[in-house]
């Protein structure tokens, strides 16, 4: 491609060379959240556009990052990229020193330009180099049985301590990573340890099985459920069972990037294919596909996210200022250290 044409299309002069080298490499290997829809969309979207295979590895995040770290230390170069939640990414990859600085991998103007992103470029890691956060949103993660509770009775976390709710509150086990861990940590920060001790004393119905918990709320085993999101309740909503998300409490809720964090493994096996994938993933097209597949909200300003409201996901860019989001997010490296880790230690101590 000529320099004039590159300037006209906004593509870097060596883009075609990188693309051709990526096609010779044949594939890019990506660790992603356990989502069949995301896997399908990556294959349909990226492979068809660039003619490069996407070899996808899906597993629990802790399992995936452990394998990546172990293989890296053993000199095996299989994985190129990881997409997932921040907690395992920080503890399993960042802390192990096996991530490449990401900024040199951003080459397309629409990806590099911070004006394309709500809040500019945001990072999970404090050094702002290795773990890129391409999503930001709030989620409705407290639900109630409409036959057993009313929103007016539950306007603040303090209301959950009323004796009438003893034995009637469900909680996705916060000792496992994810929405429940995030919810517990938010409560720890907003209300403190003594509050959580009193909440646990309400005889919480705990489980790590989201289906069991959602059904327990729908069938009236409990009146309120903490830590589950819309997707856990879809079958029960469709069956017209009495479940509904609780309006925002006085204390608010936490902000997150969900599964929308990207990292590049040092010395990746397929560097050119990985570079093409990174720039496609963070392009408008890539973010539209990923946002729909995951049901989570991108930070790209040119991608519509208002439709997510129907699924209990509220894009930060549609609701709040960047400053407000940074105050309530609890997935950055700093918040993991100062909020999530001490909150998790308390959960381990109280929930035996």
Q: Give the pLDDT score at 129.
A: 97
Q: Give the pLDDT score at 10.
A: 67
User: For residue range 89-119, what is the model confidence (pLDDT) as tens digits?
Assistant: 999 999 999 999 999 999 999 999 999 999 9
Q: Residue range 309-319: average pLDDT?
A: 94
Q: Give the pLDDT score at 8.
A: 39
Map tokens 């069991």 to a residue: 212
Greater pLDDT, 59 or 115: 115
Is the predicted pLDDT of residue 219 greater than 80, yes or no? Answer: yes
Pair 225, 168: CB distance under 8 Å: no
- Rounded CA separation 268/231 (Å): 34
Q: Give the pLDDT score at 169.
A: 98
- Rounded CA separation 223/333 (Å): 35
Q: Give the pLDDT score at 249.
A: 95
Q: Is 96 helix (H, G, I), strand (E, B) or coil?
A: coil
For the chain, the C-alpha Rg in angstroms (whole number) is 21
Residue 3 banded pLDDT, cuts 50, 70, 90: very low
Q: How far is CA 197 from the centre of its chain?
A: 28
Q: Give the pLDDT score at 70.
A: 93
Q: Is 171 left (phi over 0), alpha (psi -120 to 50) or beta?
A: beta
- Label residues 130-140 b or e (16+ Cβ within 10 Å = b): bbbbbbbbbbb
- Rounded CA separation 164/292 (Å): 40
**Average pLDDT value over all residues in the chain:** 93
Q: Give the pLDDT score at 4.
A: 37
- Label residues 155-165 b or e (16+ Cβ within 10 Å = b): eebebbbeeeb
Q: Residue range 13-17: average pLDDT?
A: 92
CATH 3.20.20.70 describes domain 3-135+257-304: no
Q: Which has the closest alpha carbon to 256: 133, 344, 143?
A: 133
- Rounded CA separation 195/183 (Å): 14
- SS (HEC) of 184-235: HHHHHHHHCHHHHHHHHCCCCEEECCHHHHHHHHHCCCCCEEECCCHHHHHH
Share of the chain above pLDDT 90, in %: 86
Element (H, E) at 301: none
- Rounded CA separation 270/274 (Å): 6
Write the CA distances from 138 to 135, 276, 327, 328, integer angstroms. 10, 30, 12, 9
Q: Give the pLDDT score at 179.
A: 82
Domain ranges of the chain: 3-135+257-304, 141-252+340-350
Length of the chain equals: 352
Residue 330 banded pLDDT, cuts 50, 70, 90: very high
Least confident among 20-29, 229-238, 297-306? 229-238
Q: Residue range 33-57: average pLDDT?
A: 91
Q: Residue range 292-318: average pLDDT?
A: 95
Pair 43, 226: CB distance under 8 Å: no
Q: Give the pLDDT score at 329.
A: 96
Least confident among 69-78, 143-152, 153-162? 69-78
Write the CA distances from 18 to 254, 263, 294, integer angstroms. 40, 19, 29
Same topology for domains 3-135+257-304 and 141-252+340-350, yes or no?
Answer: yes
Beta bridge partners of 133: 261
CATH 3.30.465.10 describes domain 141-252+340-350: no
Pair 8, 109: CB distance under 8 Å: no
Encoded tokens for 205 = 């119905």
Pairing of strands 169-172, 205-207: parallel
- Output phi, psi for 299, to 5 deg: -95, -5
């Amino acid at each position: 491609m000529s320099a004039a044409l590159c300037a006209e299309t906004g593509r870097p002069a060596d883009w075609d060379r990188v693309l051709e080298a990526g096609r010779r490499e044949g594939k890019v290997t990506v660790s992603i959240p356990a989502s069949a829809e995301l896997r399908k969309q990556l294959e349909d979207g990226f492979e068809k556009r660039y003619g490069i295979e996407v070899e996808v590895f899906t597993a629990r995040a802790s399992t995936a990052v452990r394998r990546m770290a172990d293989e890296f230390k053993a000199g095996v170069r299989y994985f190129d990229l990881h997409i997932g939640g921040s907690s395992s990414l920080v503890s399993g990859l960042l802390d192990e020193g096996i991530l490449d600085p990401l900024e040199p991998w951003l080459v397309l103007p629409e990806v590099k330009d911070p004006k394309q992103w709500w809040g500019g470029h945001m990072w999970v890691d404090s050094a702002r180099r290795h773990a890129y956060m391409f999503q930001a949103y709030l989620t409705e993660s407290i639900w109630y049985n409409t036959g057993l509770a009313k929103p007016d009775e539950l306007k603040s976390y303090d209301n959950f301590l009323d004796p009438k709710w003893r034995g009637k509150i469900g909680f996705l086990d916060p000792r496992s990573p994810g929405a429940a861990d995030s919810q517990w940590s938010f409560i720890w920060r907003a209300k403190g340890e003594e509050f959580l001790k009193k909440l646990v004393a309400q005889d919480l119905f705990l489980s790590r099985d989201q289906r069991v918990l959602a059904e327990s709320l729908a069938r009236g085993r409990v009146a309120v459920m903490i830590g589950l999101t819309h997707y856990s309740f879809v079958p029960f909503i469709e069956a017209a069972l009495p479940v509904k998300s609780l309006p925002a409490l006085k204390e608010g809720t936490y902000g997150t990037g969900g599964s929308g964090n990207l990292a590049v493994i040092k010395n990746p096996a397929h560097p050119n294919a990985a570079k093409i994938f990174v720039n496609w993933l963070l392009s408008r097209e890539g973010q539209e596909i990923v946002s729909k597949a995951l049901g989570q909200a991108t930070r790209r300003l040119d991608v519509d996210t208002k439709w997510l409201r129907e699924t209990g996901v509220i894009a930060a860019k549609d609701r709040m200022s960047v400053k407000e989001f940074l105050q309530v997010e609890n997935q950055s490296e700093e918040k993991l250290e100062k909020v999530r880790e001490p909150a998790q230690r308390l959960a381990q101590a109280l929930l035996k």
